[in-house]
Amino acid sequence: MRYARVRHDGRSHWSRVEDDVVHLLSGSPIEGAPAVTGTVSLSTVELLPPVLPFVFYAVGLNYRAHLDHARAQGYAVGTTPTQAEVGYRANNALVGSGAAILVPPDLAGPVEAEGEVVAVVGRTLRRASRAQARESVFGWTIGNDVSARAWQHTDRTCWRSKNSDTFKPMGPWIETDVDPVAQTTTVRVNNEDRARFATGDMIFDPWDYLVEASRYVTFHPGDVLWMGAGATCPITPGAVVDIEITGIGTLSNPVLADSVAAPDGASD
């Protein structure tokens, strides 16, 4: 099944997507069994981020190819992770498939796309076994961990390098029937293939992270866990960036220069 959040007639709805048809739902399918309240064409709705998480988890370096690439560029990424440690992203940055990625006017240097498979947690999870972690995932979606490298390397935190508004496209929907580690991730810019990697070629898999993190934290229904990327691709204003993961779908976002100048931070 494919579940999406959509804007239709000015309101947001949970929905079930079937080919080109969207069945609007009375509530979230993550914790209940909502009723169908209407059916509309997919082309008439705006896709929203498929969930707004209570906690937005993300894994930093989880593919050897990405680590090797970063080292080749001279970045101090440290050693290959030896334990499954989660990090965080911020909800303000989420947009759905189709929405624009806005490049801030004062950003110097490249913006890069990172295509990631995303676990959507379906139930409360604490001190989970691997079997419980597997059962806890409601479904899978796609994330683009848009990154401004200059800020990533100069700032103390990833606040604006990875969490500027629109920097976290997620979607187009949640697919409940897919094996995420048996898929292929392809990143396309203006319909040209720029990167392709085995989605499952991870250092630690999603269930490793859920088991390890749940030793200390409680996962809640709707939490998301972005699994890291195997490659990065520069993107520039005017381009369209697509992340396709077989078995799930394609997350597609245009890139635009944000035309509004930021005010001087010292203004009063």
Instruction: By CB under 8 A, name the binding residues for a second copy.
Output: 52, 54-55, 60, 78, 81, 84-88, 90-93, 104, 126-127, 129-131, 155-157, 159-160, 163-165, 208, 211-213, 215-220, 260, 262-263, 265, 267-268
If you count them, how many residues does the chain have?
268
CB closer to a second copy, 60 vs 247 = 60
Contact indicator for 204, 61 with CB cutoff of 8 Å: no
- Round to the nearest angstrom and report the end-to-end CA distance of the chain: 51
User: Whole-number minimum distance, CB 205 to a second copy, in Å?
Assistant: 13
CB closer to a second copy, 53 vs 180 = 53
User: Whole-number minimum distance, CB 255 to a second copy, in Å?
Assistant: 16
Token pair of 43 as six digits: 């082309």
CA dist 244 and 184 (Å) reads 8
Contact indicator for 235, 111 with CB cutoff of 8 Å: yes
CB closer to a second copy, 42 vs 52 = 52
DSSP type of residue 68: H
CB closer to a second copy, 190 vs 218 = 218
Token pair of 12 as six digits: 């947001």
Compute and round to an integer the Cα radius of gyration of the chain. Answer: 18
Q: Which residue has the tokens 């981020």?
A: 49
Q: Which residue has the tokens 């392809």?
A: 186
Contact indicator for 148, 161 with CB cutoff of 8 Å: yes
User: Whole-number minimum distance, CB 169 to a second copy, in Å?
Assistant: 16
- Widest Cα–Cα separation across the chain: 55
User: Whole-number minimum distance, CB 267 to a second copy, in Å?
Assistant: 5
Neighbours of 21 (CB within 10 A): 12
CB closer to a second copy, 95 vs 187 = 95
User: Across the strands, what pairs with 8?
Assistant: 11
CA distances from 215 to 129, 131, 204, 208 (A): 10, 14, 16, 11
User: Across the strands, what pairs with 18?
Assistant: 21
CB closer to a second copy, 11 vs 33 = 11
